[in-house]
Amino acid sequence: QVQLVESGGGLVQAGGSLRLSCAASRRTRSSFTVAWFRQAPGKEREFVARFTALFPWGRKSTEYADSVKGRFTISGDNTLNTVDLQMNNLEPEDTAIYYCAAATRAARTESSEYDSWGQGTQVTVSS
């Protein structure tokens, strides 16, 4: 199993920025995807962004939800030991618990594609 630990959540004013980090361990020697999902109270979990590295981690791809495209940036090296989510121009609608997820394959945007999850970190954006 992949162990995941998120950090970097907090309270920020609208228009501000936060940087989230996900530390991953115990990965297999295979293609690997780390993704961010979020869930607001009373709403379903939604995809935010993902980063895929193809074994032997010399190739990569990223993908973003339309709601965050142009504002959020996901980054990491090809081993994905640490994956960061830079969030700029934050809006109150971005308020949610953000979860890091991992899959030992080239996963996409469905939560069912991921089998390892972190505990989540709270992001609150005030108006």
What CA–CA distances, in Å, run from 31 to 7, 10, 73, 94, 105? 24, 32, 21, 30, 5
Q: What is the mean pLDDT of residues 68-89?
A: 92
Fill in the DSSP letter of residue 80: -
Q: Which residue has the higher pLDDT, 76 or 78?
A: 76
- Residue 121's nearest CA partner among 35, 20, 12 is 20
What is the predicted pLDDT for the residue at 37?
A: 98
Count CB neighbours of 1 within 10 A: 10
Fill in the DSSP letter of residue 92: G
pLDDT tens readout for residues 98-125: 999 999 999 999 999 999 999 999 999 9
β-bridge partners, 87? 18, 72
Total number of residues shown for the chain: 127
Classify 124 as helix, strand or coil: strand
DSSP codes, 28-42:
-SS-EEEEEEEE-TT
pLDDT tens readout for residues 1-43: 788 999 999 999 999 999 999 998 866 678 889 999 999 999 9
